[in-house]
Amino acid sequence: MVSARSVSVGPGSLSYTDLPWIIQHREDRCTLCGHCTAVCPKEAIYLAYRRQRMPKLDVLKKKRGNEYRTFVGIRQKPNMANACIGCSMCAMVCPNEAIVPVPNTNEHRTLFFNNQKGEPMKRGGRRNKVGPTLLDRIMFNRISMLTDPALDAGRHEFNVTTTLGRTLDPEEFLKRTREGGWIPPTREIFPFVIGSMSFGALSPNMWLGLLQGVAYCNEVLGIPVVMCTGEGGCPPWVLKSPYLKYIVLQIASGYFGWDEIIRAIPDMQCDPAAIEIKYGQGAKPGDGGLLMWFKVSKLIARLRGVPEGVDLPSPPVHQTLYSIEESVMKMIQTLSTAFGHKVPIYPKISASTSAKSVLNNLVRNPYAGGLLIDGIDGGTGAAYNVSMDATGHPIASNVRECYLDLVAQGKQNEIPIFAAGGIGKNGNVTQNGMALIMLGASGVHIGKYIMQSVAGCLGNEKNRCNVCNVGICPKGITSQNPKLYRRLDPDLVAERVGEVFMSIRTEMKKIMAPLGRSQSLPVGMSDALGIGDKDAADRLNIKYVC
Amino acid sequence: MCRLALKTASEAFSPYEVLQAMEAMQEGYDGSGLGLLLRGLDFEDFKYNSKFPILSGIAHSEESWHRLNSFMENRGFELKYDHEFETRPELIEATDRYRYFLRAYKMPASLSDKTKDEIENELMLTRLALRKDGEDHGNDLTVFSFWPDVATIKEVGWPLDIGNALNLSDNRIKSRVCMAQGRQNTNYGINLYACHPFFIQGIATMTNGENTAFVPIRDWLLGKHFPGYTGYQSDSETFTHILHYTLKKLKLPLQAYKHIITPLRGDELINHPQGKFLTGLRDSCRRLIIDGPNAVIATLPDESCMLVMDQKKLRPATVGGRPGAWAFASEMCGVDAMIPDRDPSLDFQPMREHTIIVPPERKELTIWSQHDPYPLDQAA
């Protein structure tokens, strides 16, 4: 054994087997083309020249000596800054299948060193919890088996849209119609909304692809999909286009991009679909938006009205002198006025035990057009790991209790509740969304699922990739570096948007048809739901089945 | 699937005629219930004043019968006529039927200076109080309706057996309108209160098919906190309450019912002359959209009869007749049985957009389409 001094070991020293992903490289297949090292977003691998000593002993000649050979191979850097993230881009570009990262099945040491320089771990993605979610476990079990046959999902006519915006009680609607009063604006939309991902969090090509795809869904496929901008404003050419009607503009506590939006109002050809006021986000409750300096490019800086290359942490709350509820009330009213009371305005909050109080405030606010509740499994472009993993409230029970509260007041048709956070986490996007709808949501927002399904986002809950925050997205989805985002073809993204929404629409019909539903979205049809978990069934007020 | 039959005629007729029509459609029900609702009553042994409310129901024990008597007395209703059925209990499956009752009462003097709404409210609350009294005593009292010129009979069993058991062929009761439903039990339990037609404040409906949107509609109606919106032993009871809500609460014309339960599609509304109003109505009443398939047959206090289809138009329903007598039935053979002396080539089968009305004069059918202009000033 050698003395410790002769080996370079410090408290933070790691070997490659301590990393969460271990690169397996087959030297016999490698052509040394260099593609893998060039594509690696973390510079986690490098081409290494090694010398191998071959001891040589010639007994007859009584000579000792050595022979040396050199070999070349790909090696992994065993430090935190360059730890492999498992994105597998190396495997994707390798012509010979010579390289692949594999998850470290042992516990890995980086968990204890992800706080370099005193800075806790920040990342993109969502709560790193694997396995079926509660939504995945819900079954649709009220199948029409007597009197009425199940419907034909392929040939029957289905109405699968929902209402965004406040609707009046029928008696009040008739009264205002008679008296020429204000009828709050509503939109008839597809219940799966592309959730707020900002221009800045997403690359220009990703945004362009989404916009094209959404327009195609509306104009060609007849699926009235809308998408939300997120906090970073909206490009002027979109604001002044006839496609603005498919866009929900978000205003958040940083107010980024709202100078441009307000100035564009006189030139708008149509009203936006809605305005979303972000008060909270499920992935990082209590935090404002965060765009790290890596991603504040010249374009983003101009759009947001800020200098280039600085971190953009939005405050946790909107500017308010007194209380959140007053701020909510004033912002809703102000924005409704700004758009001539013709655009639904709704807040987005983090799922929370206090969601019901927010909802009841909105019920009494005549300008509030709905409530979006974002659960703990929601995604984000950048947040502290501890916020993502440990802070927040699951969406299902939160939406359910809010809906039942509205039911008790007879107001469930007046304020639509939209749900977000973990829908499609394991790919079951339609099943998850329809479960929430039957629990009482009028629709759902999907963000991470959209990135994964339309653009091939590699992130997962084993902390694969999840580097959206630092602008090195290997697929070019969340990067502002042209070298990276040019990898993403907007036309192909748009094509995938169309495919994804066509598929969701068909799956919705396949869920609704056996329940005998076709004429209206089965909002609150909780008699159709069952779950094999007694506690969850009791909490959600649905059937326990086994 | 349940079978429906309705006959309306200028001359009062025996409900047994309608039961015979039910017999013609017997493949469709399972004996889990029969409901009969009669309007425009004519009793052989009593000159009925059509202002007298009639209490219909079943007392399941002598004790409940006495409670009923004292309850009505205390409430100020004076008994004017008590129809005694000549029953043959052996034809009835159930054994706890002490007394079927149809009793005409004179209104209490205290109601004479009340408004129409207040009187209607009192009649409904009286019915609900009696129903609750029965429920509080182990369901020993069942009350179906309490309203002027409306009699209701409900029983579990095969329609003709029940007609024979109550001797309905004896012509002691006749009516100008008779609704009958032979029930095919779906999944909400066999219960007398689950038998159609359902009744609230003069409005009655019966349905075939299943209302798959039952739970959200029920939840919304319960949220109105109107005392009459209760029960829901059957998913179809919501149809009655939606019609009540449309006519009595929203005070909309009858045409609005179809627009509420089965609104036109978005693209159809754009082309409708009152599309903007109807879109707003659809949004406001979105939770009342039925998701059938159903044929809904309704009767109103003025003896108008209505038939509407759900949007899927997967349920059958036919209307036929001649001036003075019309029949609605879920099967064509039902119409044949009720009015054989008509021109069957003029029978009409409504489509998804249609509402059929037989007005009280019974001269001809009125057929409304949802695509027609909507007749309300406020929609202009």
> Which CATH number covers residue B21?
3.60.20.10
Q: Tokens at residue B2, please? A: 């349940």
Strands B173-182, B3-13: pairing kind: antiparallel
Q: In terms of domains, do A316 and A189 share one?
A: yes
pLDDT-above-70 percentage for chain A: 97
Residue pLDDT, tens place only, A381-430: 999 999 999 999 999 999 999 999 999 999 999 999 999 999 999 999 99
List the one residue out of A166, A239, A180, A247 whose CA is nearest residue A210: A247
CA angle, B118 then B121 then B126, to 5°:
125
Q: Is B196 part of any domain?
A: yes
Give the residue carrying structure tokens 């042209």: A482
Chain B: residue nearest A524 by CA?
Answer: B216
Residues of A in contact with B286 (CB under 8 A): 163, 167, 413, 520
Residues A413, B184: C-beta atoms closer than 8 Å: no
CA distances from A403 to A228, A278, A410, B160 (A): 23, 20, 10, 46
Integer distance in angstroms from the first to the last C-alpha of chain A?
Answer: 60
List the one residue out of A189, A517, A187 whose CA is nearest residue B216: A517
For residue B162, the distance in angstroms to the closest alpha carbon of chain A comes to 23
CA–CA separation, A451 and A423 (whole Å): 13
CA distances from B5 to A383, B206, B241, B320 (A): 66, 9, 20, 12
B323 and chain A in contact, CB less than 8 A: no
Mean pLDDT of A134-163: 87
Residues A516, B186: C-beta atoms closer than 8 Å: no
- At position A325, the amino acid (one-letter code) is E
Q: In terms of domains, do A105 and A237 share one?
A: no
Q: Which residues span the domain enclosing B294?
A: 3-48+149-379
Which ranges in A364-416 belong to alpha helices (H)? 385-390, 395-409
Residues of A in contact with B212 (CB under 8 A): 144, 148, 515-517, 525
Chain B: residue nearest A437 by CA?
Answer: B216
B215 and chain A in contact, CB less than 8 A: yes
Q: Is A417 part of any domain?
A: yes
Q: In terms of domains, do A53 and A165 share one?
A: no
Q: Is B57 part of any domain?
A: no
Q: How many CB pairs under 8 A join A and B?
A: 114
CA–CA separation, B88 and A407 (whole Å): 47
Residues A170, B285: C-beta atoms closer than 8 Å: yes
By the 8 A CB rule, do A364 and A406 touch? no
Q: In terms of domains, do A417 and A482 share one?
A: yes
Q: In terms of domains, do A199 and A291 share one?
A: yes
Dihedral in degrees, nearest 10, Cα atoms B260, B264, B269, B273: -70
B295 and chain A in contact, CB less than 8 A: no
Q: In terms of domains, do A391 and A454 share one?
A: yes
CA–CA separation, B230 and B223 (whole Å): 11
Q: Which residues contact B377 (CB under 8 A, 6 or more apart)?
A: none
Longest CA span, chain B:
61
A67 and chain B in contact, CB less than 8 A: no
By the 8 A CB rule, do B317 and B307 touch? yes
By the 8 A CB rule, do B25 and B328 touch? no
A173 and chain B in contact, CB less than 8 A: yes
Chain A: residue nearest B2 by CA?
Answer: A147
CA–CA separation, B322 and B331 (whole Å): 18
Residues of A in contact with B293 (CB under 8 A): 148
* Domain count across chain A: 2
Q: Is A359 part of any domain?
A: yes
Residues A412, B187: C-beta atoms closer than 8 Å: no
Q: Is A271 part of any domain?
A: yes
Residues B209, A168: C-beta atoms closer than 8 Å: no
CATH number for the domain harbouring residue A327: 3.20.20.70
Residues A516, B280: C-beta atoms closer than 8 Å: no
Strands B198-200, B203-209: pairing kind: antiparallel
By the 8 A CB rule, do A470 and A490 touch? no
For residue A243, the distance in angstroms to the closest alpha carbon of chain B comes to 19
Q: Tokens at residue B260, please? A: 């509420």
Which position has the higher pLDDT, A149 or A396?
Answer: A396
Residue A186 has pLDDT above 80, yes or no: yes
Q: At A388, phi and psi to the nearest 5?
A: -65, -45
By the 8 A CB rule, do A226 and A253 touch? no
Q: In terms of domains, do A47 and A194 share one?
A: no
**pLDDT-based confidence at residue A291 (cuts at 50, 70, 90):** confident
Give the residue carrying structure tokens 């089945």: A545
Please, what's the b/e burial string for B169-184 (b: 16 or more CB within 10 A of its CB; e: otherwise)? eeebbbbbbbbbbbbb
By the 8 A CB rule, do B198 and B218 touch? no
CA–CA separation, A514 and A517 (whole Å): 8
Q: Report the 10 Å Cβ neighbour count for A13.
A: 13
Q: In terms of domains, do A52 and A113 share one?
A: yes
Q: Is A535 part of any domain?
A: no
ipTM of the complex: 0.92
By the 8 A CB rule, do A459 and A128 touch? no
Q: Report the 10 Å Cβ neighbour count for B55.
A: 25
Predicted confidence at residue A422, as pLDDT, reads 95
Residues A525, B215: C-beta atoms closer than 8 Å: yes
Q: In terms of domains, do A189 and A311 share one?
A: yes
Predicted confidence at residue A3, as pLDDT, reads 63
CA–CA separation, A372 and B286 (whole Å): 20
Residues of A in contact with B264 (CB under 8 A): none
Q: Tokens at residue B192, please? A: 């007398």
Q: What is the mean pLDDT of chain A?
A: 92
Cis ω before B293 (30° cut-off from 0): yes
CA–CA separation, B366 and B355 (whole Å): 8
B220 and chain A in contact, CB less than 8 A: yes
Q: Where are the beta strands (DSSP E) in A200-266?
A: 227-228, 247-251
Q: Is A501 part of any domain?
A: yes
Q: Is B102 part of any domain?
A: no
Q: Is A8 part of any domain?
A: no
Q: What is the pTM assigned to this prediction?
A: 0.94
Q: In terms of domains, do A291 and A346 share one?
A: yes
CA–CA separation, A115 and A117 (whole Å): 6
Give the residue carrying structure tokens 């301590």: A18
B310 and chain A in contact, CB less than 8 A: yes
* Domain count across chain B: 1
Helix (H), strand (E) at residue B322: strand B318-322
Predicted confidence at residue B380, as pLDDT, reads 46
Residues B216, A177: C-beta atoms closer than 8 Å: no
Mean pLDDT of A117-135: 94
Residues of A in contact with B194 (CB under 8 A): none
CA distances from B177 to A540, B307, B319 (A): 46, 14, 14
Q: Which residues contact A205 (CB under 8 A, 6 or more apart)?
A: A476, A485, A486, A488, A489, A490, A493
Predicted confidence at residue A5, as pLDDT, reads 64
Residues of B in contact with A516 (CB under 8 A): 210, 212, 291
Q: In terms of domains, do A101 and A166 share one?
A: no
Q: Which residues span the domain enclosing A277?
A: 135-522
B370 and chain A in contact, CB less than 8 A: no
Q: Report the 10 Å Cβ neighbour count for A104.
A: 18
Which ranges in A391-489 belong to alpha helices (H)? 395-409, 429-439, 448-455, 482-485
Q: Is B97 part of any domain?
A: no
Which ranges in A253-384 belong to alpha helices (H)? 258-264, 298-304, 324-338, 355-363
- Quick one: how far is CA B84 from the chain centroid? 23
Strand partners, A276: A250, A346
Residues of B in contact with A525 (CB under 8 A): 212-213, 215-216
Residues of A in contact with B223 (CB under 8 A): 407-412
Mutation target vs B (from A140, A155, A162, A177; most B CBs, 10 A cutoff):
A177
Q: Is B315 part of any domain?
A: yes
Mutation target vs B (from A164, A174, A442; most B CBs, 10 A cutoff):
A174
Q: How many Cα atoms occupy the beta-carbon half-sphere of A461 within 13 Å?
A: 20
Name residues of chain B where pLDDT drops below 70. Answer: 1, 27-31, 184-190, 376-380
Q: Is A529 part of any domain?
A: no
Strands A529-531, A543-544: pairing kind: parallel
CATH number for the domain harbouring residue A68: 3.30.70
CA angle, B350 then B356 then B361, to 5°:
145
Q: In terms of domains, do A114 and A174 share one?
A: no
Q: Is A7 part of any domain?
A: no
